[in-house]
Each structure stands twice: as structure tokens, then as C-alpha cells.
């Protein structure tokens, strides 16, 4: 007498076994992918990284930097590979711990010593990069900072962060790191503090005054 298996029994068995097939497929994919990922992570390059968070405009010291082996995929073209290349330089943006340094993150050579007496240099990123592209070294600008609308919908007036700031340097805009909107300004020390604090909350704009 021939055995007969009901179709519903076959469907039930196949439904129960579906997870087995999924687990087998996942195991095969892991076996293929993991070695490739491990191999990629093992390919490293020496690069200068910051050992602690630094603020925009801060002058780097030896203890702020180290040379670390970084996965090649995380090292931008032109990244610094010697601490001496960055010691004494000012950064053009706030940097988190572990950030790889590239030349565009440092103030242009020669700009630091060119600050007029009584003023300090500070890098400022204008919110509208197109405005920054219109500026030239030697221009005088007023820097304004405006916050967004409040919970009630009211918009606070813009705050004047610096008056008559002199444009000292304009980083090149053709590097891999996005330097759009960055300008190096000579300002009063009190204005530098305002500019540094406003970077985290304000939309920063500029008005050409001379």
C-alpha cells in the first residue's frame, strides 16, 4: 500500500524549515563578508589625529596631537603624517577627539604673524559660502549672528559679533575637505570669544563695510 502525504503537511513542514534556510544563508554571507571587512581594517596608514576636542581658532600644542594608524578608507588625501606639521598652528573649525588633520583644517601659513597690534586672528565659517567667495584679503566686514525662530515663532534680531573685522586670509576651496565659507579675520579679543561661542548656535553672515 502506497503512502500518501497530504499537501497541507508538506506546506507546514516547509514553513517550519524556512528559518533553517535563512540561518544557513546568513552563515554563508557572514563567512564571506567578515574576512573582507577584517582585511580592510588591517590596511592602515599613519595620520595625525587630535587627542582631545579642540575649539575653533585654538592653537595646537604637542599634547593635542599624536600619530595614529588609521584605516586607509578613513584617511583623506593629503592628511598630515607628522605632528610637527601642525604644532603651533590654529585650527579653522572645532574638531572632535580622533579627527584626522588635513591642511584645510589649519590656518594658512603666514597669516598668524600678520595680525595687527591689539587684534587676534580667528577663523570664521560664514553660513553662506557664496558670500565668502566674494571677499578679498584686506576687506573690512561686520560679522552678524542670528539664531533661529523661537518656540513661539518669534525671530530674534541678529547680533553684531564683530565690527570692522579685517579679512586676513581665505583658504583655497579646491581641496577634498569642504572649506566653503571659511575666512580668517583679525578681531578684538572680546569679539573672538563671541565668534567662537556663536559658531554652535548662530547663522553667521557678513556685511562689507570697507
Which residue has 544563508 as its cell numbers? 25
pLDDT values of the chain reduced to their tens digit, one per residue, 210 residues: 445 555 554 455 555 555 555 666 666 665 665 555 555 556 788 899 999 988 766 789 999 999 988 887 777 888 889 999 989 887 766 778 888 888 877 876 555 555 677 888 888 888 888 888 888 878 899 999 887 655 555 566 788 999 999 888 776 554 444 456 788 888 998 898 888 888 777 888 898 886
Q: Is residue 102 classed as helix, strand or coil in its secondary structure? A: coil
What does each C-alpha distance from 160 to 40, 48, 127, 145 come to in angstroms? 49, 36, 15, 6
- Give me the count of residues in the chain: 210
Q: What is the pTM of this model?
A: 0.46
Specify the pLDDT at position 152. Answer: 59
Q: Which three cell numbers stand for residue 18?
A: 524556512
From 188, 186, 207, select the one nearest 124 (Cα to Cα): 186
pLDDT of residue 174: 45
Q: How far apart are CA 129 and CA 182, in angstroms?
A: 8
Domain boundaries, the chain: 108-210
Task: Tell me which long-range contacts 144-147 makes (C-beta under 8 A, separation of at least 24).
Answer: 144/204, 144/205, 144/206, 144/207, 145/194, 145/198, 145/202, 145/203, 145/204, 145/205, 146/202, 146/203, 146/205, 147/201, 147/202, 147/203
Confidence (pLDDT) at 210: 67
Amino acid at each position: 500500500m502506497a503512502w500518501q502525504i497530504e499537501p497541507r503537511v508538506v506546506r507546514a513542514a516547509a514553513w517550519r524549515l524556512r528559518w533553517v534556510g535563512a540561518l544557513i544563508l546568513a552563515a554563508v554571507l557572514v563567512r564571506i563578508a567578515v574576512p573582507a571587512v577584517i582585511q580592510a581594517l588591517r590596511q592602515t596608514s599613519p595620520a595625525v589625529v587630535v587627542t582631545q576636542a579642540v575649539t575653533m581658532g585654538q592653537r595646537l600644542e604637542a599634547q593635542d596631537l599624536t600619530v595614529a594608524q588609521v584605516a586607509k578608507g578613513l584617511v583623506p588625501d593629503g592628511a598630515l603624517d607628522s605632528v610637527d606639521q601642525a604644532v603651533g598652528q590654529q585650527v579653522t573649525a572645532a574638531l572632535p577627539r580622533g579627527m584626522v588633520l588635513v591642511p584645510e583644517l589649519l590656518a594658512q601659513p603666514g597669516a598668524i604673524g600678520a595680525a595687527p597690534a591689539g587684534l587676534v586672528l580667528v577663523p570664521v565659517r560664514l553660513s553662506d559660502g557664496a558670500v565668502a567667495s566674494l571677499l578679498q584679503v584686506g576687506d573690512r566686514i561686520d560679522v552678524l549672528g542670528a539664531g533661529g525662530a523661537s518656540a513661539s515663532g518669534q525671530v530674534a534680531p541678529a547680533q553684531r559679533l564683530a565690527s570692522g573685522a579685517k579679512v586676513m586670509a581665505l583658504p583655497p576651496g579646491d581641496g577634498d575637505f569642504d572649506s566653503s565659507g571659511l575666512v580668517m579675520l583679525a578681531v578684538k579679543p572680546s569679539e573672538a570669544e563671541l565668534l567662537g561661542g556663536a559658531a554652535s548656535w548662530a547663522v553667521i553672515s557678513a556685511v562689507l563695510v570697507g
